[in-house]
Structure 1
Amino acid sequence: MNEPTKAQRRARTLVAGQRILVRRLSTRATAWVRAGRRDDLDGVAAILGCILRVAILGGAAYGAWWLVRRWPVILWAAVPLWLWAAVRALDHDEKEATAEEPPPVATRDAVVQLLHEVLGDRPAVHLSEVLEHLQSKGQGKGWKVADLRARLEALGIPVELKVKVGRKGPTRGVLKAALPPLSQPEETEPSTTPSPTV
């Protein structure tokens, strides 16, 4: 079988880069729409923000289509920019693939320990406070409350829909009574390894 020519290699690079770029843009758009959901509301009211964001994206797509139909000359600038972004996306993807391994996933016991630490003497804690605690330690960067909730539920840790803490309104949280008690640590030397992320 003949080796691909230089032009074929470049074409394959552009195709691969465009796939990565489209996937990345789709992921970001989906995350942006999901971030519009209100955890402190129920029913249709909770997803009004998502509906508005979908409408904004639809309007932006229609506006771009209208501009190209009205002034096709825009494509002379848009196409090179798109191809440049595709090549950059491929380079970035390759760098991520060779990056160091992610930190170990936390065990259920480690997460329970973390929750007890944030709870202190209180009977409950909001997930937003747990997330702030994690991010203050450099973990959970870019997470939303929904991301934390999904990880806790995947570990079998119950998340309540409406928890009231102090004067704050009821929202998703964890009850201390629903958590297993902390196990007594064994008498060992303190570990120097970083704590794993949730």
Structure 2
Amino acid sequence: MSRLVRAADRLTVGSRAYARRLGARAAAWCARGRRDDLPGWRGALGIFVRLGLLALGVYLLARIVRAVPHVMWLLTGWWAVASWRAGKPSDTASEEAPSDTPAAPDVETVRTLLLTLIGTGSGVHLRAVLAHLQEHGQWEGRTVTDLRVHLERLEVPVDRSVKVAGTPTWGVRRRDLEPPSPAATVEASPAPSPAA
């Protein structure tokens, strides 16, 4: 792979990662506007105010760029630098990933957490798992895709058509997490080979 291809790949990967990071930060900032001490729409009013502020910021930025097109060069340079930094390959990424996760890298600990979240149901959506983790101050700025990849790395079965409350999406089923019954694990004794 040539240097140019590697550089383009790094910018592409970094641009995606940086866009996801900005989106996650904006969503988290808007979500923090919710007030649990107020009932109904009044509690959610802060979210709408923050969404309005974000929309106003995008509108003003677009107006500035239309009025002074040269500003676009600065924005492009800023985005390229940020993407380059975000796309930096890390040799220790696989070693650092477990420390960022809410549960220990032990598969059984992850299974226990998932079974707890499933409760008496048949499965749980990954977005519900991610919301639970973020409520407890973990996996901030991460996406459902990040969680799915992490679970697949731990060999926890995930499925794209888990139906909870009538909605199918990515999730984990209870039957895939529970160990098989002892009767199912007993192997039949091998049949004696016929005498020659």
In the superposition, the TM-score normalised over structure 2's length comes to: 0.50
Higher relative contact order (CA 8 A, sep 6+): 1
In the superposition, the TM-score normalised over structure 1's length comes to: 0.49
